[in-house]
Amino acid sequence: MDLDAMWLYRLARRLHGEGVPLLPDLLRRAIYHLHGSYIPYEAEIGEGTLLGYGGMGVVVHKDARIGRHCLLSQQVTLGGRSGLRGAPVLGDYVRVGAGAKLLGAIHVGDWAVIGANAVVLKDVPPGAVVAGVPARVVRELEDPPAAWAKEMGFLPPGLRESEPRIHSV
């Protein structure tokens, strides 16, 4: 059992849902002191979502929603924007690179990839790869599930261990 930020978040959320007083707030503070992260139990984070390096430096707005099987790398911020209501909503299987900032009431589609240190201020279509400040679409993934599986360390369907993984051009 790892005491990473996601494990502590899930425990705090479960306790809050069961009506346990005080303990969820103590766990939120433990996340902050152990990992330098702010991950409130009010945020909705889907099953299978991972935090890179245990969640070091991750900041999540309390109104943010994160889909299933996403990856948030270290130093990622999902926050609001001054004077504007709303927080980011991430679809399923979204990967967010280290140091990326997703700000405001934006929607990130399923299978999207956010590049490291990108500043995302607008919606991201499903299967898009965005990068830059401000972020813009740099390409569309041809086969988003296979790209996700490869990046996350799973073999794409149909590829066996005995087959070569690098193809010459």
**Which token pair is 72?**
């948030």
Q: What whole-number distance in Å separates Cα of residue 117 and Cα of residue 124?
A: 16
Task: Give the contacts of 158 (CB within 8 A, at least 6 positions apart).
Answer: none
**Which token pair is 135?**
């972020």
Q: Which of 16, 33, 61, 167 is catalytic?
A: 61
Q: What whole-number distance in Å separates Cα of residue 127 and Cα of residue 163?
A: 26
CB-based contact 133:117 (threshold 8 Å): yes
- Picking from 73, 69, 49, the residue whose alpha carbon sits closest to that of residue 149 is 69
Q: Among this protein's residues, is 33 annotated catalytic? A: no
How are strands ordered across the β-sheet holding 95-96?
Answer: 50-51, 71-72, 95-96, 113-114, 128-131, 136-140
Beta bridge partners of 129: 113, 139
- Residues with a catalytic annotation lie at 61
